[in-house]
Chain A
Amino acid sequence: MSKSMKDRIAVVGMGCTRFGERWDRSHDDLMVDAVKDALGSVPGIGLEDVEAFWYSTLSSGHSGLQLSRALKIDRPVTRVENFCASGSDAFRNAAFAVASGAYDVAMAVGVEKLKDSGYSGLTLAMPPSDNTAAEISAPATYAMLPDVYTDNYGIDKDDMRRALDHVAWKNHANGALNPERAQYTSPVSKEKISSAPRIAGNLSVFDCSGVADGAAAAIIVRAEDALRYTDRPMYLKGMSLHAGRCDGVVTAGRRHVSFPEVVACAAEAYGQAGITDPRTQISMAEVHDCFTPTELLLMEDLGFSDRGEAWKDILEGDYDLDGRLPVNPDGGLKSFGHPVGASGLRMMFELWLQFRGEAGKRQLRDPKIGLAHNMGGFPGEFISFIGLFGKELG
């Protein structure tokens, strides 16, 4: 288990590009845009003040040179890849670097350029193998979740579908309040969602995150230095990363009604941050809604809902923008879009805006503690990241 870094790390600047079909922007352009945006958010800090960089992408580039070339910097740059949790892991390693004292100012930059490939959904070049693995798309692996859940808890399939419709509806509605940056900025009615053609199992495109181009960046310092840069920094309260044993996909009898990696990850991060009752202590959460059933199960794994109850809480509006615990107020992967290497940092960007009162029409009333949950993999084998952030020290 990692040791707590509560209140030792602060984010003092962040930037995020518009996500979506950015035909006009290369991978390098998006990084330059995000870095410019992050530097512009903090007066008095320039690129030359940043001593080290962590750059994350799933498959849009190779090595730290991709960033150093675009920014024309002569600085240490580490490329990070950890599936869809790459952006969070770039942040995590930059945080370690400033915590160690090796650097005073570090930057995490996440980017993905997915649209150029012309493919539907994500693709990944795999190393040579015996080619015995079944070819299954990401939507199909997640489309297996709803029936297992309803069967496990004896829930009506239509109720489950209505809950999933609600997740998609909510995240699209939130994204519509994020016109500067979200990929999809129009609300979508539940009727349209429920009647959409299915692409895998009982999932339609409205159940899937947006395939997008985009980049995000964070400037990270030790907490004691934070007020030198901004009067409204964002403090790290807890942070954990779990790479699971991957036994969920090879163990007969295992029911995917929970993601054990997320449960372990949450316990660790909550312990560091002193969270004992996430439902009351956490003001808002950005979670990895790669597909609508993922968000539903996460509500239970993160301790926001009781086991077998998330579908009901969702339908009751608990996680709506005006609910008891707003989830994905920025629209989430669903409507903000999912440029893989940038997504973890995009989640933190929304917490940053909300804490600073800069979230526009999405602004929540004085959030104190926010959670960012980012993960990569498939049901049964996940990398899970959780970061807890606060507006104030203590």
Chain B
Amino acid sequence: MIGAKLVGYGAYLPRYRLQRGKTKRAVASYDEDAITMAVGAVRRLPDSRVEATQLYLATSTPPFWDKSNAGTVHAASGLRDAAYCVDVAGLRSGFDALRLASQSGGIAVMSDLRTGRPGSAEEQEGGDGAAAFLFASEGDAIAEIVATVSLPTEVMDIWRQPGARWSSTCEERFASTMSTPVVREAVTRLGLEAPPTWTLVSALNGRFATTTSASFKPVRGTDLLQAHRGDTGYCGAADPGLLLARALDEARAGDTILLVAIAGGADAMLLHVLRDGAGSKSGLEPLALDYVSYLTWRGLLEREPARRPERASVAAPASFRNRGWKFGLQGSRCTACEAIHLPPQRVCSNCHAVDASAPYDASGRSARIAAFSSDLVSDSPAPPAVAAMIDFEGGGRVMMELAEAKPGELVVGDPVQITFRRTYEVDATPNYFWKARPSKRASA
């Protein structure tokens, strides 16, 4: 399939915001990373995503090098088993994934977590988040890609060695001066006939991104870009995706979108919007994060841990055996009496049938808190931890950690969203499982 159209998109932003100066940046929770945020974005795509046979994951902060990160995202996103899962790395990779998926069809998901030295511009202007795009040759298309141009440039503008905590950057005046003609050339080659409705420029330096964007005289100005820089930040490989998703929310059928990603040269894409956007979706309200917590969560400040035993490292055979449960939150349904079991059980607790069950996907189900407690004994980077008994609609109950929860604001019966998280890390091995996050909106 060549030249698929965009039929769905989803953005995932972590809830935490760190205010530094006048701007805020999105901060992944201590239990989020490029994989979990990518899962959050992919799961926001329309249901037809399960038919996708390509999954491109773009990030500059892959939790794994040897192991496929895209494979984990695939496992946790409820996709069909036969899928071509591709890991694309680096700051440019977000654009790459978008372009690849637009050519082959399938899912492009870009997810990133940007951290800099304490006090640096990268820290202040960076952001964390993910966006996913679903391309198909059939279906009610949202937009189509008219043209793309990529002009790579060998330049030391920003770089990072594997394992390094931060990027190194050149002096920012040099980067903008060098990049400007490349961007101009790329956009010229796109062959715009009129100023675009939207110009979305993704670059490390926010001021440079805004002035570059304005230079193309977009009909809708640069408000959206500035809002993104002011409340979310530059999200690395995910940045072009988050900008595009935001613009698609606001766009009208007939709009044109010029998307430019700058890093090691320039990538430019012209999109034609085919359907009115649904407006910005008001998700859960953001939560303010203090700087000490931010530093702690990113491992930049070591806190006295709780006096608890070392957690067990991940047992590969058990994780593999239970991968349907661990990554898909797949339980079992008794084929004799329809009872639901989370996790899957061989003996039915209701009718005692043995080995009579079918897989049951609980991952997309709504759920409620049946009981909960704060937990100051268990170690947590965001004390107090909150433990809860979660009852799933349709049956099944799981004891889970609550994410982003304040025990004082909870009551039994509160609704929760089930979310894929990084539970802990031992022996350089991150462990993943599902948590529940309260989804009740704060009262006005």
Q: Which of B315, B321, B346, B347 contacts A24 (CB 8 A)?
A: B321
Q: Which of A36, A47, A71, A116 contacts B318 (CB 8 A)?
A: A116
Q: Which of B320, B345, B352, B354 contacts A23 (CB 8 A)?
A: B320
Q: Which of A26, A72, A117 contacts B352 (CB 8 A)?
A: A72
CB pair A70–B315 under 8 Å, yes or no, is: no
Contact with B along A22-55 (1 / 0, CB 8 A): 0111101100100010000000000100000000
Closest to B349 in A: A72
**Interface: A154 (CB within 8 A):** no
CB pair A70–B346 under 8 Å, yes or no, is: yes
CB pair B315–A117 under 8 Å, yes or no, is: yes
Q: Which of B322, B345, B354 contacts A36 (CB 8 A)?
A: B354
Closest to A28 in B: B346
**Interface: B442 (CB within 8 A):** no
Closest to A213 in B: B317
- The complex places the Cα of A259 from the Cα of B322 at a distance, in Å, of 43
- The complex places the Cα of A25 from the Cα of B348 at a distance, in Å, of 18
Q: Which of B317, B348, B352 contacts A116 (CB 8 A)?
A: B317
A136-192 with Cβ < 8 A to chain B: none
Shortest beta-carbon distance, B276 to chain A, in Å?
51
CB pair B352–A47 under 8 Å, yes or no, is: yes
CB pair B318–A72 under 8 Å, yes or no, is: no
Residues of B within 8 A of A255 (CB): none
- The complex places the Cα of A25 from the Cα of B317 at a distance, in Å, of 9
CB pair B352–A29 under 8 Å, yes or no, is: no
- The complex places the Cα of A16 from the Cα of B357 at a distance, in Å, of 23
Shortest beta-carbon distance, B51 to chain A, in Å?
29
**Interface: A253 (CB within 8 A):** no
Shortest beta-carbon distance, A131 to chain B, in Å?
16
Report how many residues on chain A are interfacial, defined by Cβ distance under 8 Å. Answer: 16
- The complex places the Cα of A379 from the Cα of B322 at a distance, in Å, of 39
Contact with A along B8-52 (1 / 0, CB 8 A): 000000000000000000000000000000000000000000000
CB pair A26–B347 under 8 Å, yes or no, is: no
**Interface: B316 (CB within 8 A):** yes
Contact with A along B322-354 (1 / 0, CB 8 A): 100000000000000000000001111100101
CB pair A26–B315 under 8 Å, yes or no, is: no
- The complex places the Cα of A326 from the Cα of B30 at a distance, in Å, of 61
Q: Known: A32-B354, A36-B354. Is A115-B317 also a contact (CB below 8 A)? A: yes
Q: Which of B315, B316, B317, B347 contacts A72 (CB 8 A)?
A: B347
Q: Which of B316, B346, B348 contacts A29 (CB 8 A)?
A: B346
- The complex places the Cα of A23 from the Cα of B349 at a distance, in Å, of 25
Shortest beta-carbon distance, A274 to chain B, in Å?
42
CB pair B318–A26 under 8 Å, yes or no, is: yes
Closest to A24 in B: B321
- The complex places the Cα of A25 from the Cα of B346 at a distance, in Å, of 11
**Interface: A394 (CB within 8 A):** no
Q: Which of A26, A32, A47, A71 contacts B322 (CB 8 A)?
A: A26
Residues of B within 8 A of A101 (CB): none
Shortest beta-carbon distance, B136 to chain A, in Å?
36
A101-139 with Cβ < 8 A to chain B: 115-118
Shortest beta-carbon distance, B333 to chain A, in Å?
15
- The complex places the Cα of A301 from the Cα of B121 at a distance, in Å, of 77
CB pair A32–B315 under 8 Å, yes or no, is: no
Closest to B313 in A: A118
B68-99 with Cβ < 8 A to chain A: none
Residues of B within 8 A of A71 (CB): 347
Residues of B within 8 A of A24 (CB): 321
Closest to A125 in B: B309
Residues of A within 8 A of B352 (CB): 47, 72
Residues of B within 8 A of A23 (CB): 317, 320-321
- The complex places the Cα of A70 from the Cα of B322 at a distance, in Å, of 15
CB pair B346–A32 under 8 Å, yes or no, is: yes
Closest to B317 in A: A116
B299-325 with Cβ < 8 A to chain A: 315-318, 320-322
- The complex places the Cα of A24 from the Cα of B317 at a distance, in Å, of 8
A1-38 with Cβ < 8 A to chain B: 23-26, 28-29, 32, 36
Q: Which of A28, A29, A118 contacts B315 (CB 8 A)?
A: A118
CB pair B348–A72 under 8 Å, yes or no, is: yes
Residues of B within 8 A of A36 (CB): 354
- The complex places the Cα of A24 from the Cα of B322 at a distance, in Å, of 9
Residues of A within 8 A of B354 (CB): 32, 36
Which has the most chain A C-beta neighbours within 10 Å: B318, B346, B349? B346
CB pair B345–A72 under 8 Å, yes or no, is: yes
- The complex places the Cα of A28 from the Cα of B341 at a distance, in Å, of 15
A64-118 with Cβ < 8 A to chain B: 70-72, 115-118
- The complex places the Cα of A156 from the Cα of B354 at a distance, in Å, of 57
Which has the most chain B C-beta neighbours within 10 Å: A25, A28, A116? A116
Residues of A within 8 A of B317 (CB): 23, 115-116, 118
Residues of B within 8 A of A28 (CB): 346
Q: Which of A25, A32, A117 contacts B347 (CB 8 A)?
A: A32
Closest to B312 in A: A117
- The complex places the Cα of A23 from the Cα of B382 at a distance, in Å, of 36
Residues of A within 8 A of B318 (CB): 26, 116
Residues of B within 8 A of A25 (CB): 321
Residues of B within 8 A of A70 (CB): 346-347
- The complex places the Cα of A23 from the Cα of B354 at a distance, in Å, of 20
Shortest beta-carbon distance, A66 to chain B, in Å?
13
Shortest beta-carbon distance, B53 to chain A, in Å?
27
- The complex places the Cα of A24 from the Cα of B352 at a distance, in Å, of 22
Contact with A along B126-163 (1 / 0, CB 8 A): 00000000000000000000000000000000000000
- The complex places the Cα of A47 from the Cα of B345 at a distance, in Å, of 17
Residues of A within 8 A of B347 (CB): 32, 70-72
B164-184 with Cβ < 8 A to chain A: none
Shortest beta-carbon distance, A72 to chain B, in Å?
4
Residues of A within 8 A of B348 (CB): 72
Which has the most chain B C-beta neighbours within 10 Å: A26, A28, A47, A72? A72
Shortest beta-carbon distance, A284 to chain B, in Å?
33
Closest to B352 in A: A72
Contact with A along B397-431 (1 / 0, CB 8 A): 00000000000000000000000000000000000
Shortest beta-carbon distance, B405 to chain A, in Å?
28
Which has the most chain A C-beta neighbours within 10 Å: B320, B322, B352? B352
CB pair A26–B349 under 8 Å, yes or no, is: no
- The complex places the Cα of A29 from the Cα of B345 at a distance, in Å, of 9
B189-247 with Cβ < 8 A to chain A: none
Contact with A along B342-384 (1 / 0, CB 8 A): 0001111100101000000000000000000000000000000
- The complex places the Cα of A26 from the Cα of B347 at a distance, in Å, of 14
Residues of B within 8 A of A32 (CB): 346-347, 354
Residues of B within 8 A of A26 (CB): 318, 321-322
Closest to A71 in B: B347
- The complex places the Cα of A128 from the Cα of B136 at a distance, in Å, of 60
- The complex places the Cα of A36 from the Cα of B353 at a distance, in Å, of 12
- The complex places the Cα of A351 from the Cα of B354 at a distance, in Å, of 28
Q: Name 13 A/B residue pairs within 8 A (Cβ), A-sorted.
A: A23-B317, A23-B320, A23-B321, A26-B318, A70-B346, A71-B347, A72-B345, A72-B347, A72-B348, A116-B315, A116-B318, A118-B315, A118-B316
Question: Which 8 pairs across A and B sit closest by C-beta, in order of nearness?
Answer: A72-B347, A72-B349, A116-B317, A116-B315, A32-B346, A116-B318, A23-B317, A71-B347
- Beyond the given pairs A32-B346, A70-B346, A72-B349, 4 more chain A to chain B contacts, judged by CB atoms under 8 angstroms and listed by A's residue number, are A32-B354, A47-B352, A72-B352, A116-B316
Chain A residues at the B interface, C-beta cutoff of 8 Å:
23-26, 28-29, 32, 36, 47, 70-72, 115-118
